[in-house]
């Protein structure tokens, strides 16, 4: 790990202000992996899942991302059981709009469903208002304006502080912004999967946070970059995963990586990446692949 004599701390990556009033450390935590296999059911080791959540906060993580579909409901429930009363400055972002029949992932962006989903998240997280509530996915059967309009109504009722989107294109983001103020986007993005480069560019231009999910992607594209990533990692005394997270932090000032894990060891490794600084040459070489 880089600078292993210093304890890892998420604050080393700097901060970002979501929506103009929520300051978070840029390296967050994604709470999807604290559930069971295939993101269904309870975790194999419930106490370890709680340990990971507590340790994340101890390490300076101030942004925790979850969703009602993780479990379903398990991740949100564990977060409340473990972290309430929530520390000052901790931002809990959650999502609604995906359901899990038979373990699949099915979009449901109907306003009636989103209202029910939001109320369920408030109960499980034991909150009166969600700091950042994200439409988990655009439902092809429901215009995005209609789904986001429902969230805007809930925001007007004081149940949502800020609205975010997930899994959207530039065009869908623009349409959503025509009916509500959007403060963040969460799309799949990694060193090996940069299909959302154009979305990041819009977020950077307009000051929206961008939360890359699956930031440590594996697969064919990732394997093609393994040798170069390994070379940079060895140069810094780091792991390849830390190099990838450092690259994401360097990609744009609005990028807020949310690597998830159920392992305390991996959590420490991920947070330590906040201290890793890539040179211009290393950043460009990794981008080029």
* Positions marked catalytic: 70
The CA distance from 62 to 22, in Å, is: 10
Contact 268, 59 (CB under 8 A): yes
Query: Can you spell out the DSSP letters for the chain?
Result: -TTTTS---GGGG-EEEETTTEEEESS-EEGGGGSSGGGBSS-S-HHHHHHHHHHHHHTT--EEE--TTTBTTHHHHHHHHHHPSPPTTPEEEEEESEE-GGG--EE---HHHHHHHHHHHHHHHT-SSEEEEEE-S--TTS-HHHHHHHHHHHHHTTSEEEEEEES--HHHHHHHHTTS-EEEEEEE-BTTB-TTHHHHHHHHHHT-EEEEESTT--SHHHHHTHHHHHHHHHHHT--HHHHHHHHHHHH-TTB------S-HHHHHHHHHGGG----HHHHHHHHH-
Contact 244, 191 (CB under 8 A): yes
């Amino acid at each position: 790990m880089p600078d292993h004599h210093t304890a890892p701390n998420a604050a080393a990556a700097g901060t970002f202000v979501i929506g103009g009033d929520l300051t978070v450390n840029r390296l967050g935590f994604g709470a999807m992996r604290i559930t069971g296999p295939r993101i269904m059911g309870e975790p194999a080791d419930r106490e370890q899942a709680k340990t990971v959540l507590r340790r994340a906060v101890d390490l300076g993580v101030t942004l925790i991302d979850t969703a009602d579909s993780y479990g379903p409901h398990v991740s949100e429930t564990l977060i409340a059981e473990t972290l309430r009363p929530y520390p000052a400055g901790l931002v809990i972002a959650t999502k609604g709009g995906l359901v899990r029949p038979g373990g699949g992932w099915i979009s449901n962006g109907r306003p009636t469903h989103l209202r029910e989903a939001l109320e369920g998240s408030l109960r499980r997280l034991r909150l009166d208002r969600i700091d950042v509530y994200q439409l988990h996915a655009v439902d092809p059967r429901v215009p995005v304006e209609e789904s986001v309009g429902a969230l805007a109504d809930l925001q007007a009722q004081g149940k949502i502080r800020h609205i975010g989107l997930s899994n959207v294109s530039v065009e869908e983001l623009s349409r959503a912004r025509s009916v509500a103020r959007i403060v963040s986007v969460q799309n799949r993005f990694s060193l090996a999967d940069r299909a959302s480069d154009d979305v990041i560019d819009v977020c950077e231009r307009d000051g929206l946070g961008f939360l890359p999910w699956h930031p440590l992607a594996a697969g064919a594209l990732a394997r093609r970059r393994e040798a170069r990533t390994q070379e940079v990692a060895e140069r810094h005394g780091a792991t390849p995963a830390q190099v990838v997270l450092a690259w994401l932090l360097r990609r744009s000032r609005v990028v807020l990586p949310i690597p998830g894990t159920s392992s305390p060891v991996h959590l420490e490794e991920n947070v330590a990446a906040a201290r890793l600084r890539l040179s211009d040459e290393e950043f460009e070489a990794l981008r080029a692949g």
